[in-house]
Each structure stands twice: as C-alpha cells, then as structure tokens.
C-alpha cells in the first residue's frame, strides 16, 4: 500500500523487474507474462468496445492506444509487439465496422 493516501500505486508487470532482461519467445516468456501483456493491451479494450458497441453512434469515436512498438522487430519485446500489433489490427477493423462506409 502506498504511504501517500490518494496516490495510485503502480504495479510492475511480471518480467519488468529487470529492464535489461530479454524476454525471448524461445525461453523467458511465461504464460503469466504473455497473459499480462494481452490482457492489458488488448483484452480490456476489446471487451469494453463490445459492451458499448450498440451505444456508439454512427461515426462515433473509439480511441485505442498503441505504440511504435507494434512495428518494431526487437526480440526482447516480442510479446509487447504482438499485443500492440493486435491493437492496431483491432482498431483498423473497428474503423471499417463503425466508419461512414459501414453505415447502412
């Protein structure tokens, strides 16, 4: 618990304890690390949009947050790259679905 009331205490994700540690797909990425990245970068946004889908007006706005990490080919951030690339793909498909061309 934080010693400062009202301040949010940030929790590190599994594997963040040492930024120099390389999370390579062939050895260091556990299911816990994989799930953390997918849950925090993709799952929450997907299910939020799903829950609100029928309340979004024609040409409504959905803002998803991605990063340049979606296009980086650095093996040390492979799971992060996959999660952000999935956010990008989800956003493009959602734009097609909710955009003006998709309106009946």
pLDDT, tens digit (0-9, with 9 covering 90-100), for 72-94: 888 888 888 899 999 999 999 98
Known catalytic residues? Answer: 66-67, 80, 84
Q: Is the dihedral of CA 18, 22, 26, 32 positive or negative?
A: positive
Contact 66/88 with Cβ under 8 angstroms? Answer: yes
Burial status of residue 37 (CB atoms within 10 A of its CB: 0-12, 13-18, 19 or more):
buried
Is the confidence at residue 16, as pLDDT, over 70?
A: no
Query: Residue 67 domain-assigned?
Result: yes
Compute the distance between CA of residue 53 and CA of residue 13 in angstroms, rounded to an integer: 29
Query: Residue 5 domain-assigned?
Result: no
Q: What pLDDT score does 11 carry?
A: 47
Query: Residue 88 domain-assigned?
Result: yes
The residue segments making up the domain with residue 37 are 31-102
In the beta sheet, which residues pair with residue 66?
A: none
Query: Residue 82 domain-assigned?
Result: yes
Contact 54/27 with Cβ under 8 angstroms? Answer: no
* Report field, pTM of the whole predicted structure over 0.85: no
Query: Residue 23 domain-assigned?
Result: no
How many domains is the chain partitioned into structurally?
1
Query: Residue 2 domain-assigned?
Result: no
């Amino acid at each position: 618990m934080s010693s400062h009331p009202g301040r949010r205490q940030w929790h590190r994700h599994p594997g963040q304890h040492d930024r120099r540690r390389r999370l390579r797909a062939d050895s260091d990425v556990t299911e816990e690390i994989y799930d953390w990245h997918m849950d925090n970068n993709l799952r929450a946004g997907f299910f939020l949009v799903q829950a609100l889908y029928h309340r979004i007006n024609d040409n409504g706005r959905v803002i998803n947050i991605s990063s340049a990490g979606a296009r980086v080919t650095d093996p040390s951030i492979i799971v992060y790259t996959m999660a952000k690339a999935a956010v990008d793909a989800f956003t493009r498909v959602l734009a097609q679905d909710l955009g003006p061309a998709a309106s009946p």
